[in-house]
Amino acid sequence: MAEKNKKFGELLDRLIDKSNLSKRKVAELAGISPSAIGAYVNTGRVPEATILVKLADLFGMTAKELLSGKRPGRKSKPSKKSSITEFPDIYTESLPKKERECVEALITILQKGKPEDKKTVQSLINHVYKNSKKKK
C-alpha cells in the first residue's frame, strides 16, 4: 500500500491551481497518468521517488519541501534542482537495516554514476523500497 500524506496532496493541489498548468499537463510533464495526479491530490498518496523529484522540480521546490506540505518561506529560495539525495531519510527511515543500507549505497552510485546508468539505479532503488514495504 502506498504511503499517505494529506499535507503533500493539499500542497500539490494548491501548486497546480496557482500554476498555469492543468492537472493533465502536470501529469504529462511528470510522466504519469492524470489519475495518478488525482490520487496524489485527493488521497495524499505519495509517489515513487522519481516522480516526487519530477513534481518538485516542476514547481521549483525540493522533494522534502513538497513532502512536508509547506512552501518555502519568502526569505528562503527554492532549490534550483531537486534530487533524490535530498530526502533519503524520508524514504529509508522505515526500512529494515539491510534495505536502508542498500538504498543509501544506490543513492551514492546515483550521485556519482554515468547518466546512462541513472535510470537503472533509480529502478533498483524503487524496487528495494517497494519490496521492503510488501514484507511488512
Find the Cα–Cα–Cα–Cα dihedral 40, 41, 43, 45, rounded to 10°.
20
pTM (2 d.p.): 0.55
pLDDT in tens, 87-118: 555 556 667 788 777 777 777 777 677 777 77
**Smallest Cα–Cα separation from 83: which of 65, 105, 69?**
65
Q: DSSP assignment, residue 104? A: H
pLDDT in tens, 29-64: 889 999 999 999 999 898 988 898 889 888 888 888
